[in-house]
Amino acid sequence: MSINPRQTTESRQAEIIATMVRLSAERSPAEITTTDIAKAMGVTQGALFRHFATKEAIRLAVVEWIDEHLMFELLAAKERSTDALAALKAMFMAHVGFAKAHPGAPRLIFGELQQPNASPVKQRVQQIMQRYRQTLSQTLAAAIEAKLIRADADCPSAAALFLGAIQGLVIQSMLSGNTEQMEQQAVGVLELYLAALGVKS
Amino acid sequence: MSINPRQTTESRQAEIIATMVRLSAERSPAEITTTDIAKAMGVTQGALFRHFATKEAIRLAVVEWIDEHLMFELLAAKERSTDALAALKAMFMAHVGFAKAHPGAPRLIFGELQQPNASPVKQRVQQIMQRYRQTLSQTLAAAIEAKLIRADADCPSAAALFLGAIQGLVIQSMLSGNTEQMEQQAVGVLELYLAALGVKS
DNA sequence: CTAGTAAGTAATTTAATACTTACAAGCGCC
DNA sequence: GGCGCTTGTAAGTATTAAATTACTTACTAG
């Protein structure tokens, strides 16, 4: 079939990653087989192993894709904000928007959480989250500096609550399957979060 | 061996559930096989099917065990509190304490989140979380009534943030493998959460 | 003491899964 | 236009899982 010509490894890798993320939106990532991915791509199962050595390599590449694209969105949100407080709001909504645009992404991350500590993929996730929390802490500190939020707010706790608020919303949407509702509820939760930082609505 | 005499189905079911929770503390629940459980119990794999018809039945029983025991702890925490605000604090710490005492429990719940919506086990989790949020909303409303928290706080959002805060802490502890740290951080996060409700520290 | 039932074992079945291999065919390059 | 590398296929392998089966052993009631 001419629908499916030969392609470069680079483009196939991207396609495999995209397919994995897409399929993860509906099914448990752990249960997605190489056959599933291949079928969704219109290619035979063995072909995948031309582009990734093992399935674990696919999982790692997917996690890296998520990191790259989420961080891009967060940075963009931050840069289009005029101050640190606006940046926090924009990052919050950008993260929720990312989860809505790619519902498979959080499922993949949650799946990797389950893995034993030694797993390289999990270590990558660990690193990603740590960096994220650091960025948040910095932005929070900047907001304190600019007197936009309470001076006595504990930055690490505030960063943890920021992430938790989003994760809670994502978990709820995973249960209901309704990402629309998640985005709506995000507004209310964000407002409450900001109140914790001493921001009046 | 006399260590392992014959037992009733009831006690074996409890043992299977306990073993599943215990093993989930270290490994991904999805990867725990019936052979793993049987080995940990000192029994043959086939024996499990004398007590549960399928593996899914085991998973359902485990989720129900978690529900029952977590709700027991939460209710106890609530009842030993003198007012609605103290109840919220006590429930928060009780939930975190439960996650510390049974690290496998959140992993099992997160694992079920991944399943398709039609799954009976996931539906059970959905129901559990919904009831939990309702309980929280009621307690929050009572706290408003008693003028212990801001009158204009949005109860559904506050319930969502409460759960998210805990889930965020749990996720972090799943990454670090450190439940001790989770409990310490919980104090700071709880304080921040209460600030969102207008409670001065 | 004997018959029925519940709980256990050991071995087997069936169905997937990740990964491999032998071979074919397109593409760029000299 | 042939050469070699890459991407693809089709078929195969080894392994693993849940569930089943045939048989055994312990307990209990009449």
pLDDT at A9: 82
* A33 belongs to a structural domain: no
User: Is B81 a domain residue?
Assistant: yes
- What is the domain count for chain B? 1
Please give the structure tokens belonging to residue B188. 């700071």
Query: Which residues in chain A show pLDDT less than 50?
Result: 1-3
Where in the sequence is the domain holding A166, given as residue range(s)? 56-196
- How far is A199 from A136, CA to CA, in rounded Å? 17
CATH code at A130? 1.10.357.10
Question: Would you call A113 an interface residue with chain B, using a CB distance cutoff of 8 Å?
Answer: yes
Q: What is the DSSP letter of A29?
A: G
Q: What is the pLDDT of residue B12?
A: 87
pLDDT of residue A177: 92
Q: Does the structure show a pLDDT above 50 at B177? A: yes
CB contact under 8 A, B198 and A198: no
Rg (CA), chain A: 19
Nearest to A99 by CA among A70, A58, A122: A70
Residue B2 has pLDDT above 60, yes or no: no
Q: Is the pLDDT of residue B137 over 90?
A: yes
Mean pLDDT of chain B: 94
- Asked if A161 and B153 come within 8 Å (Cβ–Cβ), the reply is no
Q: Which of residues 30-49 of B touch A (CB under 8 A)?
A: 30-31
Domain contains A103: yes
Instruction: Tell me whether residue B28 is in a domain.
Output: no
Q: What is the pLDDT of residue A4?
A: 53
Q: What is the DSSP string of chain A?
A: -TTS----HHHHHHHHHHHHHHHHTTS-GGG--HHHHHHHHTS-GGGGGGT-SSHHHHHHHHHHHHHHHHHHHHHHHHHT-SSHHHHHHHHHHHHHHHHHH-THHHHHHHHHHTS-TT-HHHHHHHHHHHHHHHHHHHHHHHHHHTTSS-TT--HHHHHHHHHHHHHHHHHHHHHH--HHHHHHHHHHHHHHHHHHTT---
- For B34-82, the pLDDT digits (tens) are 999 999 998 888 889 988 999 999 999 999 999 999 999 999 999 999 9
Determine whether the distance from the CB of A47 to the nearest atom of strand D is below 7 Å.
yes
Please name the member of A114, A161, A177 whose beta carbon is closest to the beta carbon of B107.
Answer: A114
